[in-house]
Structure 1
């Protein structure tokens, strides 16, 4: 088991992200972009961290004038509407083993719709795949997420979103390097019981991704919410033993995120804030999620060390049984 935060595979993967973003910013994705071009709808499908990438990817494609929508892979595979002939499907799975993502890919190929898969290097021999990075060395996934977001930004740029071009992506990589050197996390206290992370719009997606990393790495009860949903019932069980982390509250046009922070403080909840500084403050909102996500990954790794947890092995015991992870896969395929 790692003794310090610097000895973890998670630490290495976090610090590999800037190079991956730089490399994929210049990747030639012409073929994949042509596959998506002119589609009536583009459906982005993934599970867990890949779902969060699908959400932000849909935002970026929307800004390119594309009718892009996201869904969890499991919901789409079993409950989604029938694919239309002019649909395109983007399947996100870093391992090329995720059960419901495999089923979604099989359904898309069977329907004859245009398909793009975003996956890890050497994970599958799929002709439609865009490969991002080598397989993660930690079960708390990091670099595969920011790499997938870079690919989606690259595609959005090729389809018409000027704000996601190589220059902006290289700036995002520089912002990642900056936060790796100084993440600015000293004011965020380890909660006695639970942590809620909230934000508006794309920051709400990052709230959920960051909370997932904290759960996996540090084994802390952490939940991420859109600010709106935190207000509507989710805040009820949080109290003085808990923390609330606000993500970029000044980006919330209605002031709800900041107002929730004030209400939480009045209820005795410890409130902290993460806002962009330096290069990150100059990025478009969706790209600003890359360095912010890295800061939350670093927080997860730091808290894992404080709690003497191994962030590189997240799934243990009965949760790790192979047959559990195979459920939902096509033809009983491995997951």
Structure 2
């Protein structure tokens, strides 16, 4: 969830340059930010990175340049949002930044306090700094890193720095960390390059290089201005093998859009086309392999969290309709013991680093009776943990998504799942989905009803069959960015209790693929009790026989296609409702883009 960053360079760089690069990770958390240099400069501040950047010294200041530094943007887990809980945490000459959760920090804290350590924060992370400070007299931190990995229980990506020592020390277990190699070097390893950037995410340095080293669990790095050395938990040196990656170097900014969210909604048609072309071209072999593995499987399990879980629900409908035995689970609701021989597990994740999902996948992979259980990935970020551990993987090619609320990545997850289903005989209406038309027709309706929805404290979104996942996703988007309670539910379940909450002018948004849908009856029931219905439908009001305060008329198609169209309408409804309420749309409170903690 937090974003960590470290830089080492032959040439000096400014702390403002360091923190400007940290801004590329702000979607991972924005409760506080901080940085520290090898010269001893330390600064931390609650709030956004832009506010932190403004507090830093100008580049000409004596303490404004360095050759080695670390930085952090926080999503609070242990300890409140306060300066003393911001990273870096320091003990003596050791400063650290950390992403993850240390489960045995209380035990370690008590042990270190008995040795004289004085803690100044409420965080679990501070124990790492005090633990490594025990090795401050050593010429290096090799033994400290090895002992640290032996003692820590939990998840971590750690970057450590010692005052007066222009080297970074990096350790990983479960939380993502990647090394970017910048400039031209003299070998196929990681020696002799101009600078090294270690981060939670390749986007931190994708504007500077296409070479990266992806750390695996229980590995650590020592990085200086000349080289990067990789070791296992026992201190054995490992070969460093940089990989070429391709990712956006810039997100292009907001351009003429007010927020990244609306910009990314407008990018949906283009990224969907990019994915279709990729599946027919560069990813054709991966698609073919996934189809082959699915054919060999007796059962298909789709797993995801949040928005990706809703994609899994729609994927289950698609694959079941194509004649396959498919099931969908939230990552937190599926235990590794539930997987059977010859199962195909499709892990769906925008980041490819979702901790709830990775814990389950690693447990499946570690089963002695794993046998023919296949793990497959559907991810957006290349070379992510899920992609690296999967038997095969499809990248959804949505590009960098800056807004915390997923929009274009969800659309492309559905495009990928539609492609898989079509390989097994699922019939679609469109050779190319009319996504631009959906956005063009839905936007003015969303703008019109936004003030009314913004005045409400609660609303309900209903759908049936393939449209139920879109109802869930629409409700999630409304909650995420507008902070209004929204409940997505099966239309038929209304009469089993929730109908007691329906009263005059309560908004009920209904997703109706056609006039034959049973959801029509559910809408009539709520209209009869005074609710104001908003229809997202593949038919007109007259055909449906409904009043409807507003109509989002989407192109007619299969239930699954209408479900995708409705989800995009939901993105626009959420956006314009939140905009009317002047919410911080791209960075909603308490949330972060990549959930890398349990």
Q: Above 0.5 in TM-score? A: yes
Deviations 1:265-317 (A, max 9, x none): 3333222212136995342211222222111101111111100012211242x
Report the 3-state secondary structure (helix = DSSP H, G, I; strand = E; otherwise coil) of the residue aligned with 1:314. Answer: coil
Report the 3-state secondary structure (helix = DSSP H, G, I; strand = E; otherwise coil) of the residue aligned with 1:236. Answer: helix
Report the 3-state secondary structure (helix = DSSP H, G, I; strand = E; otherwise coil) of the residue aligned with 2:501. Answer: coil
Distance 2:292 2:532 in 1: 49
8 Å contact kept, 2:536–2:553: no
8 Å contact kept, 2:479–2:485: yes
Deviations 1:44-98 (A, max 9, x none): 0111111111111111111222111111111103xx6532221111001111121
Residue 160 of structure 1 deviates from its aligned partner by 3.1
Report the counterpart of residue 418 of structure 2 in structure 1: 153
Unaligned runs of 5+ in 1: 328-335
Report the counterpart of residue 54 of structure 1 in structure 2: 312
Report the counterpart of residue 196 of structure 1 in structure 2: 460
Residue 223 of structure 1 deviates from its aligned partner by 1.0
Distance 1:303 1:123 in 2: 36
Distance 1:207 1:251 in 2: 18
Residue 169 of structure 1 deviates from its aligned partner by 4.9
Report the 3-state secondary structure (helix = DSSP H, G, I; strand = E; otherwise coil) of the residue aligned with 1:207. Answer: helix
Report the counterpart of residue 531 of structure 2 in structure 1: 269
Deviations 1:225-271 (A, max 9, x none): 111122211232343363111211745544xx333323323333222
TM-score, normalised with respect to structure 1: 0.84
Report the counterpart of residue 12 of structure 1 in structure 2: 263
Which portions of structure 1, spanning 4 or more consecutive aligned residues, are displaced by more than 6 angstroms? none
Counting only pairs closer than 5 Å after superposition, residues 216-231 of structure 1 correspond to structure 2 as: 216-231=480-495
Q: Residues 282 and 30 (structure 1 numbering): CA distance in 2 closer, same or farther, change over 3 Å?
A: same
Distance 1:196 1:280 in 2: 20
Distance 2:346 2:326 in 1: 10
Distance 2:564 2:431 in 1: 10
Distance 1:261 1:284 in 2: 21
Distance 1:98 1:312 in 2: 20
Report the 3-state secondary structure (helix = DSSP H, G, I; strand = E; otherwise coil) of the residue aligned with 1:42. Answer: strand
* Structure (1/2) with the larger strand percentage: 2
Report the counterpart of residue 233 of structure 1 in structure 2: 497
Cα RMSD (Å): 2.8
8 Å contact kept, 1:13–1:143: yes
Report the 3-state secondary structure (helix = DSSP H, G, I; strand = E; otherwise coil) of the residue aligned with 2:496. Answer: helix
Q: Does 1:64 align with 2:326?
A: no
- Number of residue pairs the alignment of both structures matches: 313
Report the counterpart of residue 114 of structure 1 in structure 2: 374
Q: Does 1:294 align with 2:554?
A: no
8 Å contact kept, 1:187–1:272: no
8 Å contact kept, 1:192–1:241: no
Higher normalized contact order (CA 8 Å, seq sep 6+, divided by chain length): 1
* Structure (1/2) with the larger helix percentage: 1
Q: Residues 251 and 67 (structure 1 numbering): CA distance in 2 closer, same or farther, change over 3 Å?
A: farther
Residue 200 of structure 1 deviates from its aligned partner by 1.5
8 Å contact kept, 1:203–1:248: yes
Distance 2:535 2:517 in 1: 17
Q: Residues 34 and 99 (structure 1 numbering): CA distance in 2 closer, same or farther, change over 3 Å?
A: same
Counting only pairs closer than 5 Å after superposition, residues 65-104 of structure 1 correspond to structure 2 as: 65-77=323-335, 81-104=337-360
8 Å contact kept, 2:492–2:522: no
8 Å contact kept, 2:381–2:395: yes
TM-score, normalised with respect to structure 2: 0.49
Distance 2:359 2:425 in 1: 30
2:440 to 149, 156, 181: 181
Residue 19 of structure 1 deviates from its aligned partner by 1.4
Distance 1:263 1:99 in 2: 41
Distance 1:252 1:228 in 2: 14
Residue 123 of structure 1 deviates from its aligned partner by 5.3
8 Å contact kept, 1:118–1:131: yes
Report the 3-state secondary structure (helix = DSSP H, G, I; strand = E; otherwise coil) of the residue aligned with 2:555. Answer: helix
Q: Residues 169 and 233 (structure 1 numbering): CA distance in 2 closer, same or farther, change over 3 Å?
A: farther
Q: Residues 104 and 168 (structure 1 numbering): CA distance in 2 closer, same or farther, change over 3 Å?
A: farther
Larger Rg: 2
